[in-house]
Amino acid sequence: MDILEILKADYQRFPKNQTYNIYAEDVYFKDPMNKFNGVDRYKLMIKFIETFFIKPQMDLHDIRREGDTIKTEWTLNWNTPLPWRPRISIPGWSQLGVNSDDLIISHVDYWKCSRLDVVKQHFFPLKKS
């Protein structure tokens, strides 16, 4: 199966049953909260989301490949396990580097909001437009 098709399927069922064999063993991962190397560490981060976030959902808006780079645009939503269960939303994009074996060697996430914006959503819900 094509790597783009695998990624589309992973986004649809995120964070459940992710396909880790498309990542290089020493994949580099970075987002506004984390930076590390290794697919095992990546699995732990996904397991954390699956365990501690309520109803996590990753909506894929776009995915495209240009040579050895894949770019995805998405929105991550979840409810935080606070008594009032705020729904958090982070729009962003990912840039994935792919090697000659079609393995992802880098996965860098960018948010279209600040970390402070995410914290604020816990206390001030986003306005529906």
**What domains are defined for the chain?**
3-121 (3.10.450.50)
**Cα 111 to the chain's mean position, in Å?**
10
**pLDDT single digits (tens) 98-112:** 999 999 999 999 999
- Please say if the pLDDT value at position 128 is more than 70: no
- Asked if residues 88 and 121 have their Cβ atoms less than 8 Å apart, the reply is yes
Task: Extract the tokens encoding 11.
Answer: 């986004």
Helix, coil or strand: residue 73: strand
pLDDT digits (tens, 9 = 90+) for 61-85: 999 999 999 999 999 999 999 999 9
**Torsion region of 80: left, alpha or beta (phi above 0 gives left; psi -120 to 50 gives alpha):** beta
